[in-house]
Amino acid sequence: MSWQEGVAVTVVLLGLGAGAFLVAQRPSFWIEFGARLGKALLPLAWRYVSKRMPPEEEAAWREAERRGQGDEWLRGRQRK
């Protein structure tokens, strides 16, 4: 790469950085960014939070709870 190409790439990158800086200063940018990020991540978070154990595992866990070993059972399940 010649020095002219290096200067051209540097100028383009500085221009992109300056444009991003000016856009990021606007509150409407952050509001829209947060809304889109929330819309994209909310289904993933809900899927993770609302996940249930299969009925067989839940029955085994409840049995371990009755024996007083529920915490150990859950720790063993998390290691798998």
Answer yes or no: are the C-beta atoms of 73 and 61 closer than 8 Å. Answer: yes
Please give the structure tokens belonging to residue 23: 């856009």
- How many whole angstroms separate alpha carbon 41 and alpha carbon 28? 20
Please give the structure tokens belonging to residue 8: 């051209």
Q: How many helices (H) and strands (E) does the chain have?
A: 4, 0
Q: What is the pLDDT along the chain (80 residues), one digit of tens a residue?
A: 899 999 999 999 999 999 899 888 888 988 999 999 999 999 999 988 888 888 898 898 899 899 988 888 888 887 76
Q: What is the pLDDT of residue 11?
A: 95
Answer yes or no: are the C-beta atoms of 53 and 61 closer than 8 Å. Answer: yes
